[in-house]
């Protein structure tokens, strides 16, 4: 199936492509929408992903896919959550901290907290028509470390420990991460949905 992914970042297709084999992924730019952008003002990952996918579908009238993801720390009420990418920014997100700065900020905020339970969350939404929407949301549970570990991954990966493997997310191999990560799991669910849809067309 040809799917347009609601993102301005071509690298997103490099992440999603291997997890959705057999499908042709395209960016809005491939359809002539060079400056596609959606304000992510939802209070949940689902709201943001639905808004992005629906917005793109309303413009192209073609199958549209979007995702939203982040880190939820339970002792902080689920924060940074949907604000993960701009967490800690002094001006509300207009100027984003880099990953190292965000991680340091979060660890400082959690310095005195003993409950370190957290989870990466990824929500993927597929819109096939105005009222035909499919959703896959998955998590990768973990524990917030006291200091970064590992040189791999990106974002919050170095400060999240995965008890099942005894490693931080940044210490996992690419294969381990694809099998275990929130995005890998959500993509596997969406791949199964797409496979089922194609069988029944």
The per-residue pLDDT for 199 is: 85
pLDDT average, residue stretch 23-44: 92
Q: pLDDT band at 95, cuts 50/70/90? A: confident
User: What is the value of pTM for the model shown?
Assistant: 0.91
Among candidate residues 30, 67, 68, 131, the one labeled active-site is 68
Domain edges within the chain? 2-199
Is the CB of residue 107 less than 8 Å from the CB of residue 73?
Answer: no
Tell me the β-bridge partners of 120: 71, 140
Out of 3.40.50.720, 3.90.180.10, 3.90.950.10, 3.20.20.150, select the CATH number for domain 2-199: 3.90.950.10
Tell me the β-bridge partners of 132: 129
Q: Is 115 a catalytic residue?
A: no
pLDDT at 10 > cutoff 90: no
* Non-local CB neighbours of 167 within 8 Å, separated by 6+ positions: 149, 150, 161, 176
Q: What percent of the chain has pLDDT over 90?
A: 76
Sign of the torsion formed by the C-alpha atoms of 43, 31, 61 and 4: negative
């Amino acid at each position: 199936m040809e799917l347009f992914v609601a993102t301005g970042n071509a690298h997103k297709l490099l992440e999603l492509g291997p997890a959705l084999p057999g499908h042709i992924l395209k960016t809005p730019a491939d359809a002539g929408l060079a400056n596609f952008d959606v304000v992510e003002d939802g209070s949940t990952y689902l709201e943001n992903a639905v808004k992005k996918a629906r917005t793109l579908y309303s413009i192209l009238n073609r199958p549209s896919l979007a995702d939203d993801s982040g880190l939820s720390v339970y002792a902080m009420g689920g924060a940074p959550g949907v604000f993960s990418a701009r967490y800690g920014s002094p001006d509300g997100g207009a100027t984003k901290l880099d990953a190292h700065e965000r991680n340091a900020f979060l660890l400082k905020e959690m310095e005195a907290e003993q409950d370190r339970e957290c989870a990466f969350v990824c929500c993927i939404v597929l819109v096939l028509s105005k009222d035909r929407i499919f959703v896959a949301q998955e998590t990768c549970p973990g524990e917030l470390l006291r200091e970064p570990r590992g040189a791999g991954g990106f974002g919050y990966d170095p400060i999240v420990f995965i008890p099942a493997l005894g490693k931080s997310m940044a210490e996992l191999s690419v294969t381990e991460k694809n099998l275990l990560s929130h995005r890998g799991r959500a993509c596997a669910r969406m791949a199964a949905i797409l496979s089922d849809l194609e069988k029944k067309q």
